[in-house]
A and B are shown apart, each in its own frame.
Chain A
Amino acid sequence: MVRRLVRRIAGLIATLFAASFVIFASVYAAPGDPAVFLAGGRDKLTPEKLATVRAQYHLDEPLVVQYGRWLWDCVHTDLGRSFRYGDQVADLLAARLPTTLELVAYATVLFVLLGVGAGVLAAVRRGWVDSAVVGATTLAGSVPSFVAAIALISLFGVQLGWFPVTGGGTGFAGTVHHLTLPALSMALGALAIISRVTRQAMLDAAAADHVEVARACGVPEREIVLRHVLRNALGPIVTMCGLVTAGMLAGTVVIETAFGISGIGSLLVGAINTHDFPVAQAVLLLMVTGYILATTVVDLVHPLLDPRIKAARSTV
């Protein structure tokens, strides 16, 4: 068990190391010159001034040296200072991360409840209900999230005035109120996938012999669905929910922009546009870490749901 954990952590660090270099190199290779933004106004863009700025921010050094410098500081828990804000990168992240996490968590709750619910409904009530659910979720899933955002804003925000259209809100009630429309816009896209996976996993589980046996023994249908079908179908459902959530961590940019929410998504876009290397690097690395962590959690939760997997693994 300990060896497995050590191996996993070592793998995690190796992945992060590789990801950090790829990210560093790609941010560096993006078109545009950071010195132009750092120098100030357009009238100051003389070659001499730009050279001074490059030297000041070590931009004139080779890529590998810059990466080494960054990594060294990073290992010493110093993510550096933002070129654009002059503030510590860690502070910038700490201020914006909660909003993004809240948004993703809310969207996850929504798509899990609605998606799994719809999938179960479709699997249990075959026929026109099934067709209706499949049709509706496919439609919802085919609408890009920014289009959904615009539609939701104009209907529930501007026309009806039920929900605020900008900002993240404060306090629990305020946050829920502010984040409902953004979370819904994000959840809609995931609905089709989750409901489809749930439906199929349920149908597969329902075809098992023990379900037939239980039914023959007169176990109530409700109990069969909950204890024998849904429980056995949870593996793929949880895996898919985990993957979708992990993907959302990196996909809040569009929604944050549409709703004027300052999360790490909008921070990233700003950082890339202004060549704020330290911030772009940190946010991207955070997103990769979030993705790895989320998938790891799914991996760890899986055996708990299905004892057969646990048994199979522990023999290795």
Chain B
Amino acid sequence: MKRTPATPLLAAAVATLALGAAGCSGATNALGGGKPLNAADLKLTPTTAQATGRLGTVNWLLEDEPDSLDLDTQGTSAGRTVLTNVCERLYQLQPDMSVRPFLARKVTRPDPTTLVLSLRDDVTFHDGAKMTADDVLWSLKRHADPDMEQADEFGNVKKMAKTGPHEITVVFKQPDALFTKALAGDAGLVYHRSQVQAAGKDFGTPGRGDACSGPYELKSWKSGDSLTIHRYDGYWGGKPLTRQVVFRWASDSAFVNALTTGAADGGYAEAPNTAAALAGRKGLSEHYGPSTASLALIPTERGGLKDPAIRRALSLALDRTGIAASGYGGLVQPWATPVGSGAWGYAKPAFAAAQRKLNATAPERPDAAGLARARKLVKEAGAPAEPIVIGTDASQGRTVIANAVRAALQRIGLAGVIKTVPTAQFEEFYSSPQARSEIDVLVGDWYISKSDPMGFYDNALSDSPNNWVGFKSRSYDSTVHQAMRTLDDGARARLAVQVQKEFADAAVWIPVAQVPAVLVLKDGLTGPPASQAHLYYPWAAELGTEPGSAPSHQPPGKD
């Protein structure tokens, strides 16, 4: 399932509407203390140093209150960041973005269209009940319900059945290489059936318990105030270092202030601008990890950018380093593909090498040769008569990108105009061809939940609703479908690289930068992963104090 980071969007909207602080100070380093980063120096490390010391209560900051704790009906980053410590999945995404079987102890594939999940028999839910194959099957069927968010992950599934006391067998219509990746996401959540059914419509709302088996249990959720999870003593796995985590939420400058003043001990900063404002603050450490998120220009079905040659020319003329520095405090990295390096859950060297090769189509900075090539492309294609309309909202990063696009167009002899709309309306560009009919290119952001580039490239299939420019290529379509059916990682990686090359050559989207995951911790604390895996991996269980450090403000955990 691909989702967009809704929270930063919302935060930006609130800031634009009300605060002014984000525009004036919160977004850059002007709040004091922050030091500008150089995008090229950004080192992405999936993990942080292992923690050894126990902690009592930790105050954790989210950028927004979770909408719901039922991820089937309403999945947001805030909800996942909390629930990943409480609920477990059949597979688990690791900090390095690879996946491995988890509540499924062992997985076999007797043939390419059959997946047999042998379940753990030592797992108990938080109410003390044992996890059964019936619970797992019921959970999978709930996820597959067409009304639920994960339904699309089950498109290839022909049958799911219990085939033993601890065994579930999934039969596919055709081999599905991404299904096990989905099982490491929300499609693999295992619930205690009777708990979910007893809660009915109220499942996942404040004041309700959880129905899960993770290292933490949901202790309380006071709507509008805070959310507390507490270590579950009957946990089947290793014991977490931190006893209790209290979540509160704030956005923009309130997020920055809470961490700066020590009101919070840590948080994952979703908005790059918030992370930039916190970089280099005294008493805090900031860790950057791989994520699948990216910034990209998404051309629409109308106007001058319908021509692939003009799109390629624009890509060659875009100053990605400049955007990273002035729009995002150096916290995003110029990038040549539409998904971040967090998508490389396997075959990393192959994907890294392929990405480097694509730099020629999406340079960090336009050079003279590139610009000459771009101008030639425009000349051959013929300059469009109308100026190119760039759609954006008023958030700082997007505004900078929109201006950079206009500058790039000027460099290649084309005119550009910027159309700014309110954030609520901006979201409509993604869904409504009618709304898009007003713009030629959208300053977009996107992330995928699966650590596999193929989780993205189906968006450019001839019949995909997200293929706005009408890109049609028989070879692209067949390679994508083939990759989706290819279970072997190495073979699929080769196909993915091929697909990626064709996508870049046609400039279906124009990649701008990858957006890292950012973890902010109070000095003395360490342990959680820094990568996007914090949405699907029990990060709080590994949070503790650094070896040899004992922060005085933390009462020691009672065991």
**Chain A nearest Cβ from B265, distance in angstroms:** 13
Given known pairs A84-B74, A262-B249, the reply for A166 and B263 (CB within 8 Å) is yes
Question: Closest CB of chain B to A154's CB: distance in Å?
Answer: 8
Does the CB pair B261–A158 fall under 8 Å? yes
Mark contacts of A28-47 with chain B using CB atoms, 8 A cut-off: 1 yes-contact digit, 0 otherwise.
00111100110111111111
Q: Closest residue to B264 on the A side, CB-wise?
A: A166
CB distance B424 to A30 under 8 Å? yes
Q: Are B424 and A257 in contact (CB under 8 A)?
A: no
Interface flags for B202-213 (1: CB within 8 Å of A; 0: not) read 101111000000
Which residues 15-69 of B sit at the A interface, judged by CB distance below 8 A? 15, 17-21, 24-25, 31, 64-65, 67-68
Identify B223's interface contact among A92, A157, A253, CB under 8 A.
A92
Is A44 a contact of B152 with CB atoms below 8 Å? yes
Q: CB of A15 within 8 A of chain B?
A: no
Residue of B nearest to A41 (CB): B3
Contact of B424 among A31, A40, A45, A46 (CB under 8 A): A31
Tell me if B18 and A96 are in contact (CB < 8 A): no
Please judge, given known A-B contacts A40-B75, A92-B223, whether A166 and B19 are in contact too, CB under 8 Å.
no
The answer to whether A267 and B446 have CB atoms under 8 Å apart is no
Contacts A33-B431, A43-B2: A165 and B257 contacting too (C-beta < 8 A)?
yes
**Does B255 belong to the interface (CB within 8 Å)?**
yes
Expressed in whole angstroms, the Cα–Cα distance for A147 and B23 within the complex equals 12
CA distance A254 to B253 in the complex (A): 12
- Whole-angstrom CA separation of A153 from B255 in the bound complex: 12
The reply to whether A273 and B205 form a contact with Cβ atoms under 8 Å apart is no
Query: Which one, B205, B255, B261, B430, contacts A87 given CB within 8 A?
Result: B205
Any chain A CB within 8 A of the CB of B422?
A: yes
Q: Report which of A50, A56, A158 forms a contact with B431, defined as CB distance below 8 A.
A: A50
* A42 in contact with B2 (CB, 8 Å): yes
B18 touches A257 (CB 8 A): yes
Contact of A85 among B68, B261, B263 (CB under 8 A): B68
Number of A-B residue pairs at CB separation under 8 A:
178
- How far, in whole Å, are A36 and B31 apart by their CA atoms in the complex? 35
Residues B138-184 near A (CB distance < 8 A): 147, 149, 152
Interface residue B14 (Cβ < 8 Å from any Cβ of A): yes
Could you tell me the distance between the alpha carbons of A32 and B432 in the complex, rounded to whole angstroms? 10
Measured CA separation A275–B205 after assembly (Å): 19
Q: Which residues of the other chain, A, contact B24 by a CB distance below 8 angstroms?
A: 150
Interface mask (A165-189 → B, CB under 8 Å = 1, otherwise 0) = 1111000000000000000000000
Choose from A36, A39, A85, A258 the contact partner of B205 (Cβ within 8 Å).
A85
Cβ-neighbour of B18 out of A86, A164, A254 (below 8 A): A254
Bound state CA distance, A157 and B263, in angstroms? Answer: 10
A99 lies within 8 A of B205 (CB): no
**B257 to chain A: which residues have CB within 8 Å?**
153, 157-158, 165-166, 260
Inter-chain CA distance A88–B459, complex, in Å, is 36
A21 in contact (CB, < 8 A):
no
Q: How far is the CA of A154 from the CA of B253 in the complex (A)?
A: 11
B415 close to A (CB within 8 Å): no
A266–B149 CA distance with the chains assembled, in angstroms: 26
Do residues A270 and B14 form an inter-chain contact, with CB atoms below 8 A?
Answer: yes
Most chain B CB atoms below 10 A, which of A36, A46, A92, A273: A273
Query: Which residues of the other chain, B, contact A37 by a CB distance below 8 angstroms?
Result: 427
Instruction: Give residues 73-100 of A contacting B (CB, 8 Å).
Output: 81, 84-88, 91-92, 95-96, 99
Q: How far is the CA of A270 from the CA of B15 in the complex (A)?
A: 11
**Are the CB atoms of B261 and A86 closer together than 8 Å?**
no
Task: Please determine whether B1 and A86 come into contact, CB atoms closer than 8 angstroms.
Answer: no
Checking B14, B223, B422 against A95 with a beta-carbon cut-off of 8 angstroms, the contacting residue is B223
B428 within 8 A of A: yes
Q: With A42-B466, A165-B258, A266-B14 as given contacts, are A95 and B225 in contact (CB-CB < 8 Å)?
A: yes
Contact B18 A45 (CB under 8 A): no
- Confirm or deny: B110 has a beta carbon within 8 angstroms of a beta carbon on chain A: no
Q: Which residues of B contact A70 (CB under 8 A)?
A: none
In the complex the two chains form, is B3's CB within 8 Å of A42's CB? Answer: yes
- On whether the beta carbons of A258 and B424 are closer than 8 Å, the reply is no
CB-CB under 8 A from B67, the residues of chain A are: 84-86
Instruction: State A257–B249 Cα separation when bound (angstroms).
Output: 11
Determine if B21 and A146 form an interchain contact, defined as CB atoms under 8 angstroms apart: yes
**Closest CB of chain B to A170's CB: distance in Å?**
8
**For window 191-209 of chain B, which residues contact chain A by CB distance below 8 Å?**
201-202, 204-207
Q: Which residues of A contact B249 (CB under 8 A)?
A: 260, 262
Whether, in the assembled complex, A283 has its beta carbon less than 8 Å from a beta carbon of chain B, the answer is: no
B241-294, CB < 8 A from A:
248-255, 257-258, 260-261, 263-264
Chain B residue at minimum C-beta to C-beta distance from A153: B257
Cβ-based interface call for B73 (8 A): yes
* Residue A161 at the chain B interface, CB threshold 8 Å: yes
Across-interface contacts of B427 in A (CB, < 8 A): 32, 36-37
Known contacts: A92-B224, A95-B224, A167-B248. The answer to whether A41 contacts B263 by CB under 8 A is no
B443-479 at interface with A (beta carbon < 8 Å): 446, 459, 465-466
Contacting residue for A166 out of B224, B254, B422, B459, CB 8 A: B254
Tell me, in angstroms, the Cα distance from A55 to B347 when the chains sit together.
Answer: 44
Known: A165-B263, A167-B263, A270-B10. A42 touches B4 (CB 8 A): yes
Known: A40-B149, A86-B70, A166-B257. A263 touches B1 (CB 8 A): no
Residues of A contacting B25 with CB < 8 Å? Answer: 150
Q: Is the CB of B422 within 8 A of A31?
A: yes
A138 within 8 A of partner (CB): no
Contacts of B224 in A (CB 8 A): 92, 95-96, 99, 262-263, 267
* Known contacts A146-B18, A150-B21, A262-B225, A86 near B424 by CB under 8 Å: no
Q: Is B423 an interface residue (CB 8 A)?
A: yes
- Tell me the A81-137 residues at the B interface (CB within 8 Å): 81, 84-88, 91-92, 95-96, 99
B425 at the interface (CB under 8 A from A): yes
Is B13 interfacial (CB-CB < 8 Å)? Answer: yes
Extra inter-chain contacts (7) besides given A47-B465, A165-B261, CB under 8 Å: A42-B2, A43-B466, A44-B149, A45-B465, A150-B21, A164-B261, A257-B254
22 sampled A-B residue pairs with Cβ under 8 A: A31-B428, A36-B432, A40-B149, A43-B2, A43-B459, A44-B149, A45-B430, A86-B201, A91-B205, A91-B223, A95-B222, A154-B31, A165-B261, A166-B264, A167-B225, A167-B226, A254-B19, A260-B255, A269-B14, A274-B10, A274-B424, A275-B424
Residues of A within 8 A of B (CB): 30-33, 36-37, 39-47, 50, 56, 81, 84-88, 91-92, 95-96, 99, 146-147, 149-150, 153-154, 157-158, 161, 164-168, 253-254, 257-260, 262-263, 266-267, 269-270, 272-275
